[in-house]
Amino acid sequence: MSLSVDKTSTGREYKVKDMAQADFGRLEIDLAEVEMPGLLSCRTEYGPSQPLKGARITGSLHMTIQTAVLMETLTALGAEVRWCSCNIFSTQDHAAAAMARDSAAVFAWKGETLQEYWWCTERSLDWGPDGGPDLIVDDGGDVTLLIHEGFKAEEVFEKSGTLPDPSSSTNSEFQIVLTIIRDGLKTDPKRYHRMKERLVGVSEETTTGVKRLYQMQANGTLLFPAINVNDSVTKSKFDNLYGCRHSLPDGLMRATDVMIAGKVAVVCGYGDVGKGCAFALKQGGARVIVTEIDPICALQALMEGFQVLTLNDIVSEADIFVTTTGNKDIIMVSDMKKMKNNAIVSNIGHFDNEIDITGLETYPGVKRITIKPQTDRWVFPETNSGIIVLAEGRLMNLGCATGHPSFVMSCSFTNQVIAQLELWKEKSSGKYEKKVYVLPKHLDEKVAALHLGKLGAKLTKLTKDQADYISVPIEGPYKPAHYRY
């Protein structure tokens, strides 16, 4: 796509695949709202008082139907919103179109190049000459990264006049980031400093982004407060676990139509995401083998009847591989060469470096046959045997299907809304330093409570006597901070 910004009749900027899909997007958003009681409750509870009035929010989070409901919850609470996706394949074009038409400045389409991806990211930060956003909703931390790298480059440039050198990195994606910063520096050497001044804080969605934030906190380089939404119980123990349990088989089915029953499946990593995947595959009738580095998680897998082996033990025997580790170099091209013909290789961790796509692309004589978008068969010349790689190694549930379903995303996103409200409310109070925070347990419990009615559940109420006996307030919170659920 040509990288120029379009404008709606009201002058709002956007760049999406096809504005004609907006009606379809709206119909699916209408359906999703019924499944997202937490977000709808926020609109009802907070909408009248417009608590986000005046807040500019930049979001970098998969531009799906569910995210659209989040975005319109933020605008219903008074915010102005600019948005990009945090993954080149995860945008649902009809959702993007509906948002662009009706509610926000959106820069996202399914199947961006990396170049386009970072262009969109930069667009989402461009709130005009008077600085950037007040608040960030981030997923994986790419917007946060761009600001921190930009800020750092400006510091260096100010001190030494040196521009960042893209060729200093061997990572092709990071070269693009440095190029963008370098090109920006030439025209506006204080852009990221102004942004940093204005920024109230970020709420981060996912394990990977949170890990980056804690590293920056540890290094003392974090530029603004951050709320770790991922580690709300109602996020990490729901979206990561139950979301993946739903969307992993969905991605497999849409991409390959392969029968799961009877197959041997390898799940690399048995964290919340890995647990969800392993259970989904087991329930589909596969025999599941787990790889793990952590003896505790490994023992959990064993207690559920999963065999725990190394990848090498099983690589030539399994039919389906899923990486969920959040680490890199999990399945290398040397592993892929040993696999059975038409073994399926996929990743559901945040970044695509779990699978050695570069090694595969550069393998001498390898042949890529695109079955359909996000489903490629790669054939090795020696054996004429092929493997099927989903979503080019990126999040397969978003690349090949539609990601997590609305209900569980309502839990995650209600945490996001609460985090944004909290950051904005405390913007001048000094409550939040340049550190990473989790939401207090009573808010976590509130998010859960907002989702019970839809499922017909009835909670039991403590008597005063019982509450005293276990030393908790009648209305909660009910558990100590270290409770693991």
Distance in Å, CB of 434 to a second copy, minimum: 19
Residue of 85, 90, 206, 291 that binds a second copy (CB under 8 A): 291
Does 327 contact a second copy by CB under 8 A?
A: yes
Which residues on neighbouring strands pair with residue 290, listed in sequence order? 267, 308
Please, which residue, 128 or 456, has the CB nearer to a second copy? 456
β-strands 375-379, 320-323: how paired? Answer: unpaired
For residue 313, how many other CB atoms are within 10 A of its CB? 14
Angle at 205 between CA 64 and CA 210, to 5 degrees: 145
Distance in Å, CB of 60 to a second copy, minimum: 22
Give the residue among 322, 382, 384 at the shortest CA–CA distance from 355: 322
Residue of 172, 382, 469, 473 that binds a second copy (CB under 8 A): 469
Does 73 contact a second copy by CB under 8 A?
A: no
Please give the full DSSP string across 158-199, using - where no structure is assigned: HHH-PPP-GGG-S-HHHHHHHHHHHHHHHH-TTHHHHHHHH-
Taking CB under 8 A as the binding criterion, the range among 3-11, 54-62, 155-163, 245-253 that sits at the site for a second copy is: 245-253
Annotated binding residue 205? yes
Give the residue among 68, 67, 82 at the shortest CA–CA distance from 124: 82
Annotated binding residue 289? no
H/E element holding 339?
none
Instruction: Please answer whether residues 153 and 164 qualify as being in contact, where contact means their C-beta atoms are separated by less than 8 angstroms.
Output: yes
- Give the integer Cα–Cα distance in Å for 147 and 430: 22
Does 419 contact a second copy by CB under 8 A?
A: no
In terms of Cβ atoms closer than 10 Å to its own Cβ (0-12, 13-18, 19+), residue 210 is buried
H/E element holding 267?
strand 264-268
Q: Could you say which residues in the range 375-414 bind a second copy, by CB under 8 A?
A: 377, 388, 401-402, 404-408, 411
Q: Could you say which residues in the range 29-58 bind a second copy, by CB under 8 A?
A: 31-32, 34-35
Instruction: Please answer whether residues 205 and 70 qualify as being in contact, where contact means their C-beta atoms are separated by less than 8 angstroms.
Output: no
Does 479 contact a second copy by CB under 8 A?
A: yes
Q: Could you say which residues in the range 109-138 bind a second copy, by CB under 8 A?
A: none
Annotated binding residue 102? no
Distance in Å, CB of 69 to a second copy, minimum: 12
Please, which residue, 59 or 249, has the CB nearer to a second copy? 249
Does 103 contact a second copy by CB under 8 A?
A: no
Residue of 114, 299, 381, 473 that binds a second copy (CB under 8 A): 299
User: What string marks each residue from 172 to 191 as x (binds a second copy by CB under 8 A) or -?
Assistant: --------------------
Residue of 108, 178, 396, 438 that binds a second copy (CB under 8 A): 438
In terms of Cβ atoms closer than 10 Å to its own Cβ (0-12, 13-18, 19+), residue 471 is exposed
Distance in Å, CB of 304 to a second copy, minimum: 6
Question: Could you identify the residue written with the tokens 């790889």?
Answer: 291
Q: Is the peptide bond before 477 cis (omega within 30 degrees of 0)?
A: yes
Distance in Å, CB of 177 to a second copy, minimum: 18
Distance in Å, CB of 460 to a second copy, minimum: 5
C-alpha count within 13 angstroms, C-beta hemisphere, residue 122: 22
Annotated binding residue 317? no
Q: Could you say which residues in the range 439-468 bind a second copy, by CB under 8 A?
A: 444-446, 448-449, 451-452, 455-463, 465-466
Q: Could you say which residues in the range 209-238 bind a second copy, by CB under 8 A?
A: 211, 214-215, 231, 233-234, 236-238
- The DSSP output letter for 257 is -
Does 415 contact a second copy by CB under 8 A?
A: no
Annotated binding residue 165? no
- Give the integer Cα–Cα distance in Å for 77 and 414: 13
Helix ranges (H only) for 188-342 are 191-198, 207-219, 233-236, 244-256, 272-283, 295-303, 311-314, 333-337
Please, which residue, 427 or 454, has the CB nearer to a second copy? 454
Please count the residues of this chain forming the interface with a second copy, following the rule CB under 8 A: 112
- Give the integer Cα–Cα distance in Å for 18 and 109: 9
Taking CB under 8 A as the binding criterion, the range among 54-62, 115-123, 157-165, 292-300 that sits at the site for a second copy is: 292-300
Distance in Å, CB of 485 to a second copy, minimum: 6
What is the residue type of 266? Answer: V
Q: Which residues carry out catalysis?
A: 62, 85, 90, 139, 205, 230, 235, 239-240, 244, 350, 404, 412, 416
Residue ranges for the known binding site for substrate are 64, 139, 205, 235, 239
Residue ranges for the known binding site are 64, 139, 205-208, 235, 239, 271-276, 292, 348-350, 397, 404
